[in-house]
Amino acid sequence: MTAEPLIEEREITLHGNAVAYRRGGRGPTMVLLHGIASNNHTWDAVIGELAKTHDVIAPDLIGHGQSAKPMGDYSIGGYATVIRDLLLALEAERVLLVGHSLGGGIAMQLLHMAPDLVGRLVLVSSGGLGRDLGAVLRAASLPGAPLVIRAATSVPAQLAGRAAKGLLDVVGLELPTDAAEGLDGFASLHDPDAREAFLNTVRASTGLGGQRVSAVDKLYLMRGCPLLTIWGERDAIIPVQHAYEVQALVPDMHLHIVPTAGHFPHVDEPDLFCTYLRAFEEATAPSELTLESLGEILRDETDEPELTGAP
């Protein structure tokens, strides 16, 4: 069995803010973007295996994990700008870009913003493909949410949560992955700066009606970039129906629905996840999209007949 490469903790300063990331392996560059209230450790189950054949870069998004949590732009576009600048600073080109949940929305925005940086796109239970959203994230947009989250992530509340989880361990029961990952992310919001970043992110892209930011009307711009979508059939955060709706719009998309997985298929089924990525890469060639070619697509889309007659 091949030994897993060393994955190093690193940090870079961009625009005065620290961006933490992990990097390891050799080969074509793969970038892993996590979801909201998460961090790069969501990829722990797959990063070592992927680094056997790739140079893997897994950042903590601004406002998350070990990265800085400044007052700033927590919109999808703001996140994509930081990831663009990170890849430019690290001299990464035509990467295999993997985005989970919020990270999927950021990945699509990055492709739109800097197509020459993206060779292939992988969306994992991705945001930005429809309005539907789990009740917890919708509720986080309510005016009283900051006080509720502060109370729920207090030290006594966290101790009670750990005690309850310990009791489950004693009797041999495990929390479903979605619940366990959600609790880990929620616990990070005890930090006031992380909590503020989380709320700013929620407010920028969601509301009581669900997701307010959609890439669906721009999917035609992706037709020059190989696209793989992986979704858990049991996803209670963003419904799997979004994947089927995107497939109808992008017929040549590679699609895998994981029957045993929820919102975190890379955690529930890491071996399958890595197999899907390898097969997708073997079956496709990197995108050659550029800003110029996107301009051509847009001009073709908006061409109107010339007006005749006197001005």
Strand partners of residue 258: 232
205 as an active site residue: the answer is: no
Q: From the candidates 101, 125, 141, 205, which is the catalytic residue? A: 101
67 as an active site residue: the answer is: no
Extract the tokens encoding 186.
């929620």
Of 18, 131, 145, 159, give the one whose Cα is nearest residue 82: 18
Dihedral of CA atoms 281, 283, 285, 287 in degrees, nearest 10, equals -70
* Sequence-distant (≥ 6) Cβ neighbours of residue 35 within 8 angstroms: 42, 100, 101, 102, 103, 127
Extract the tokens encoding 238.
């963003």
CA distances from 256 to 61, 163, 249, 306 (A): 26, 37, 16, 45
Q: From the candidates 55, 178, 235, 268, which is the catalytic residue? A: 235
Q: Measured between alpha carbons, how far is 50 from 59 in angstroms, rounded to an integer?
A: 15
CA distances from 44 to 4, 197, 230 (A): 12, 23, 18
Cβ contact 21:40 at 8 Å: yes
Extract the tokens encoding 300.
């073709």
271 as an active site residue: the answer is: no
Residue whose entry in the numeric block shows the structure tokens 């890469």:
281
Cβ contact 55:28 at 8 Å: yes
Of 106, 79, 107, give the one whose Cα is nearest residue 17: 79
Q: From the candidates 263, 266, 268, 287, which is the catalytic residue? A: 263
For the annotated catalytic residues, the residue numbers are 101, 235, 263
